[in-house]
Amino acid sequence: VNLTQDDVQEILRLLDASPFDELQLETDRFKLTLRRATAGGWTQESRTLSAPRPLPAASAPGVSAASGPLAAGSPPSAQPASPAAPAHAAPAARSPPVGVVDVCTPIIGTFYRAPKPGAPPFVEVGSRVEADTVIGIVETMKLMNSVYAGARGEVVEICVADGQFVEQDQPLVRLRRADQ
């Protein structure tokens, strides 16, 4: 059993009255370090050492096959959906031809080609863009970040499908620059 917040407070009350400045506790389930802080009070650092225990696939834990409400098996919806596509495509290894530039995502996240589901995409192959044209959105931690073309030109390739996960600096679209 891991320590509760109340347990930690109890230990700290004992420590406060003691000459000790540090306490380390380690079991096979957790590791906790308490240190007296120079600014007053204490600091805590903890690591949970126990491993996750996946639910056995066949039947529920602690429920025998005879009495388990679902001994017959799991409904299909309980299975994790297999990802439709690889989690993320590797950034394009090939370097762009002369006069062509990659517009890359400044941030890791999910790429969206349109402002909302069902809406027309910001850009298509053949779209003419200015430096401040939005070419897509990258969603990170529930925040929508607009990605700008950064140069004047024409979209020659869409590198990432809508809804796909992108790594930082991964190319999203390619432009043929107008000033080349």
Provide the binding-site residues for another protein, judged by CB under 8 A: 1-2, 4-5, 8-9, 12-13, 16, 34, 37, 39-55, 60-63, 68-70, 74-81, 83, 87, 107-110, 140-143, 163, 165
In one-letter notation, the amino acid at residue 136 is G
19 vs 80 by CB, closer to another protein: 80
Identify the H or E element spanning 78.
none
Least distance from another protein to the Cβ atom of residue 32, Å: 10
> CA–CA separation, 136 vs 127, rounded Å?
13
CA distances 126 to 84, 133, 153, 174, Å, are: 28, 14, 9, 11
Least distance from another protein to the Cβ atom of residue 159, Å: 19
CA distances 102 to 42, 88, 93, 165, Å, are: 50, 17, 12, 17
70 vs 178 by CB, closer to another protein: 70
88 vs 176 by CB, closer to another protein: 88
Least distance from another protein to the Cβ atom of residue 47, Å: 5
19 vs 76 by CB, closer to another protein: 76
Asked whether the beta carbons of 88 and 165 are under 8 A apart, the reply is yes
Residue linked to tokens 């949970």: 48
10 vs 132 by CB, closer to another protein: 10
Least distance from another protein to the Cβ atom of residue 125, Å: 25
Least distance from another protein to the Cβ atom of residue 92, Å: 20
Q: What is the CA radius of gyration of the chain?
A: 27
Asked whether the beta carbons of 176 and 100 are under 8 A apart, the reply is yes
